Amino acid sequence: MSGDSQAQEDELLALASIYADPEIFSTSSDSDPRSGCFSAILDLPENFQITITKLDETLELSHSVQYLPPITLYFRLPPQYPSVSPPEFTLSCQWLSLKQLSALCKKLDDIWAENQGFEVLFLWTSFLKDEALSFLDIQSPLEISQVVEKHPHQKHPTNGPSSGSSDPQSSDDVLHTTEKRQRSSALLEADIKCIDSRAVQDIGSQDLLYPVLLEYDKVQRQNVFLMTLFMCGVCFNEKLGSQCMKFPGCDHVYCKDCMAAYFRLQISEGNVLCLVCPSDNCQSEAHPVQVKELVGPELFSRYDQLLLQSSLDSMSDIMYCPRKLCGCPVMLDQDSTLGTCPSCHFSFCRFCRLVYHGVSPCRIKADDVRKLREEYLNATEYEKKAMERKYGHQCIKQVLQDSFSEDWLLEHSKKCPSCGSHIQKIDGCNKMTCLKCRCYFCWICGVVLSHHNPYSHYNNPDSECFQRLFHGVNIEDEDEWEIFEPA
């Protein structure tokens, strides 16, 4: 075996050992063992941005990425490498222009010129991986609007006038066109001289570049996540990302076993709006796809139905069909009192929920409920019978129940300022959390509190609730609230 052949074999074995991942470094088949490729995956700075400006310059898209597609070096070692000849190579990349790739090609030539007679593949791969960004002076944000251009080796079509043209041109127009072609030809020749034939742009269209880069970054992030160890904040066990889930928005990670048990419990109890990140003061919600993966199709079906019902309940223009055997959601017109069920076609009044009565008043107006209750309670047995015949026994009974319930709620509870649900305070501080919509509000003044720092309301000297976080709290067992002084 000649000295060059031995040097080539040793160099390729060393590179295969250094870059053990075949996705980064690999050699070709046994038919040509002296060729291969190296993918330089660059370490991007934190919060690296890529931006693209549309042609009309009215819209600029920007996105933070952690990974960009690699710069790929395809090489072949000639028989007289490294003693005489350098490696034959091409460079390809999706997000570098042909001029930038050509500059890298020249830099690889310079490295060979400085080390002629010695192996240079490791020097080339190290430069591409560790120094390419600084060499090309690439910084964030990276503008990719003009990366993919027409290849300068491609000839422009000739659009000059032909002798048989029926559209005559003046001599000034012909002279202007000729000068324009000459300038274009000079620029084209300049581009051809600065573009290296070994530079290959590995994407066919500028329109594809931005989505391709975002998709590559997404896939790489997921691959890294799956192979990384995380400590679950619930069970405190370390597990691979493939056994964990990450909440979108906050990126907090917990193991799938803990989250599956947590989600099943909440869905079984009907708390579909509580599938949030367990971290303190974090309100990031699990994506429905994540929920489906962890709880299975049967429980997810219940979750989906409850979530839909909760959404419909929060909409002021949605009401359920009053018929007990139907209950279909009905879209209401805010300017009309008529509601028509799309399923059973029942037409009803949106206020009294009885059969639609046109412009006639409802049987019992909402404003007359309290008056009707007092009148019924103070009536004689004969008068009560007459009222029951007029309004119906069940209607009177419902009015009484509703009005007493309303009195109790007014006395013992307060409405959530966000969704209007009644909240009863049993114990604890005056920072309240609505179990339905997860809104934070003050029990004393009813103001909505910040999710980021709800306690700032009680630390603000300008607030009427300043230092009143525990105002009104009954401390029945003083031992539980005793403050121990250090010995």
Total count of domains within the chain = 4
Residues 22 and 80 in one domain: yes
Residues 57 and 201 in one domain: yes
Q: Has residue 58 been placed in a domain? A: yes
Query: Residue 301's pLDDT is what?
Result: 86
Reference 9, options 21, 31, 25, 27; nearest CA is 27
Q: Has residue 347 been placed in a domain? A: yes
Q: Rounded CA gap, 328 and 307, in Å?
A: 15
Q: Where are the alpha helices (DSSP H) in 157-240?
A: 171-194, 206-226
Query: Residue 327's pLDDT is what?
Result: 80
Residues 71 and 130 in one domain: yes
Domain stop point among 313, 336, 367:
313
Query: Residue 78's pLDDT is what?
Result: 92
Residues 284 and 362 in one domain: no
Residues 421 and 439 in one domain: yes
Query: Residue 484's pLDDT is what?
Result: 38
Q: Has residue 183 been placed in a domain? A: no
Q: What is the pTM of this model?
A: 0.55
Reference 129, options 108, 112, 115, 146; nearest CA is 108
Domain stop point among 381, 413, 445:
413
Domain stop point among 361, 389, 413:
413
Query: Residue 14's pLDDT is what?
Result: 92
Query: Residue 244's pLDDT is what?
Result: 92
Residues 20 and 88 in one domain: yes
Domain that holds residue 235: 228-313
Helix (H) or strand (E) holding 338: strand 338-340
Q: Has residue 172 been placed in a domain? A: no
Residue in this structure with the two tokens 């990031």, named with its chain if needed: 284
Q: Has residue 177 been placed in a domain? A: no
Give the CATH number, domain containing residue 112: 3.10.110.10
Query: Residue 380's pLDDT is what?
Result: 85
Q: Has residue 165 been placed in a domain? A: no
Query: How far is C-alpha 445 from the geometric centre of its chain's CA atoms?
Result: 36
Q: Rounded CA gap, 322 and 485, in Å?
A: 63
Residues 283 and 359 in one domain: no
Residues 426 and 409 in one domain: no
Tens of each residue's pLDDT in the chain, 487 residues: 578 889 989 999 999 999 988 889 988 866 677 899 999 999 999 889 998 886 555 667 888 999 999 999 999 999 999 999 999 999 999 999 999 999 999 999 999 999 998 999 999 999 999 999 999 999 988 888 888 865 544 444 444 433 334 444 444 554 455 555 554 444 444 455 678 889 998 887 888 888 999 999 999 999 999 999 999 989 999 999 999 999 988 889 999 999 999 998 888 888 877 788 888 888 888 888 888 888 888 888 888 888 777 777 666 677 888 887 888 888 887 677 788 898 898 888 876 778 887 766 556 655 567 777 777 788 888 777 766 665 666 667 777 777 777 778 777 788 898 888 888 887 788 888 888 888 999 988 989 988 888 888 889 888 889 988 888 776 554 444 443 344 3
> Dihedral of CA 349/355/359/363: which sign?
negative
Residues 293 and 329 in one domain: no
Residue in this structure with the two tokens 């009885």, named with its chain if needed: 354
Residues 25 and 135 in one domain: yes
Residue in this structure with the two tokens 């994407």, named with its chain if needed: 203
Residues 353 and 283 in one domain: no
Residues 239 and 352 in one domain: no
Give the CATH number, domain containing residue 297: 3.30.40.10
Q: Has residue 160 been placed in a domain? A: no
| Amino acid at position 123, single letter | L
- The residues carrying an active-site annotation are 429
Query: Which pair of tokens denotes residue 218?
Result: 């997404």
Q: Rounded CA gap, 93 and 133, in Å?
A: 13
Helix (H) or strand (E) holding 384: helix 381-391
Q: Has residue 286 been placed in a domain? A: yes
> Dihedral of CA 439/444/445/449: which sign?
negative
